[in-house]
Structure 1
Amino acid sequence: MSVPRTPSGDRLGRLLNLVPYLLARPGILISEAATDLGVTGKQLREDLELLWVCGLPGYGPGDLIDMAIDGDHVTISHDAGMDKPLRLNPDEALALIVALRMLAETPGIGTRDAIERALAKIENAAGELAGTPVAVRLPANQKRLTAVRTAVESGHALQLTYYTPSRDESTDRVVDPMRMLMVGGFNYLEAWCRRAEATRLFRIDRIDAFTELDEPSAPPAAAVPHDMSTGVFRPGPELPLVTLRVGRGGRWITEYYPVEQVVRDGAEWQVTMRVTDLGWAQRFLAGQGRDVTVVGPPELLERIRAQAVAALDQYASPAAG
């Protein structure tokens, strides 16, 4: 009799709980564990084979999950930190629900079905918490996407109010639209920016306001489309270079962001990476905690130090009234 394959999301949940389950039952029979987990012995052995090559970023011998299989018995010998069953507290569950609802309302997301399935599972597990009156609606995004696309097709210039998160500021500019494109699940307007006198990418959900002008879009000959084969961010030598020392809990940075060099030195790694500007780096690194230490440049160190001192001063000063 063939056994239907379970969805990858179900398998992920089973894998996350499998390690702490086996840790509490060293030497358990694989058949007994399979019965407890509601899978066949063959499925459980496949799960164990997958776990064997899973672990923390770095994936060296000391980072991977390790186990001993003696005939029909299995024992976890190294858990790679996965020693507790996955449990969400109310705040974490609500944060996930809000984030997934926001993603589901964002136009241009290509994985909407997967998002809605994940949201349904979390809401079902959250019980009454899922009924918390938190509504997420982003109707302006869809209208803005349609309107910008219409302007591009009609060949008109646009006046934008655009938010730049790396500098935490909004600016007004007139642009000559060139094309619409989607990269990494986000919609972008590529246009000639008259203010910067260069081709720029504007993420649609960061356009705070816009006006379609009567004048035609007229990109100059210098308006060359970007090569998007490597993504939106293209680090170059003109951008600031930041050096960090990251512990085990901060190694995810090397996988999520483009880095120029990683030097593995025991438990800590030294990482160098380009950033759009030091203001973004300050806000990003100030929230990373003890797993990330900033080595340079000195200007960034001073910015973070001044921010920390200002925060401590707020705690030292009694609240007025």
Structure 2
Amino acid sequence: MSAATAGAAKEQVGRLLRLVPYLHAHDQVSLEEAARVIGVPPDQLDRDLRVLFLCGLPGGYPDDLIDVDLDALEGEGVIRVSNADYLARPLRLTPTEAGAIVVALRALRSGAGRETRQVVDRALDKLEQAAAGSTPLVDPGDDDPIPLALRTQLEDAVSRHRQVRLTYYVPARDEESERVVDPHAIVFHHGVAYLDAYCHSARAPRLFRLDRIHEATVLDSETVTEPAEPRDLSEGVFGGEEATRVTLRLRPEARWVEEYYAVQEVRPDSEGGSEVDLLVGDERWLQRLLLRLTPYAEVLSPAHFGDGAADAIRRALALYDHPAG
């Protein structure tokens, strides 16, 4: 779905949400009058009504759907809606339905900014009040207190322009490293929180996953670098000089990579495999991935990116030829 199509669908949903309560309160109303009240051209309202009769309760059977009298609409220009009495009944959620909403709201809250959190908290409070005296709602738990406290600490460092000393786990090397950074912002990608900062060890901007920061100490020293333009993470957390575009040839047994990782492009081949492009921020991470995919993947470009994995495979095979005594 294109951005334009998605935007049009969103606007139509908003119109229908305004339209249905209005129509339910009137036995019949002219198309011109309803269009004036809703604030749309009559021809647009006509198109919306032809979508409305496909809406209703789950199930999708005729008795579940809102009934729009299309004959009256086309012949007399009058809107008549029936089989929508349930819209006048107060919403009743089962414990399972309420629990699902709570889980979704808490997931939204964990990655949201302060203003959104306030809105979500009000919705959660209403759900809990509505459920009082009935079966308790499922409580999936709030944010992990350690990352939440860490995020609050880092947001304070960002606002006060204070440097931070991090103890950070680097999975590509399976080790912890300590570095001093200039924190510039907390950003999110696919529900994961990152610290966008200038790393004085790397002498370059870096993203640090909050769940891999084992310790953070806010220093008295002020930051000495200015934040760059806000990061666009729509294409992933790597970009520019931080990553290398790598092309892999995948056999059918390894095509799960296309779904599991944020690949840039997929080109299926005639044998059921594919070529994929992905951004790699650390060559050692790619080596570990290739070890998992062997013998169903190979590096096409840059060719030398596959050398480390090949050496690792040869070393592993040598252990079978000369097992330790």
Give TM-score scaled by structure 2 length: 0.48
Higher radius of gyration, 1 or 2: 2
- The structure with the greater share of residues assigned to helix is 2
Bigger relative contact order, structure 1 or 2, given CA contacts below 8 A and separation 6+? Answer: 1
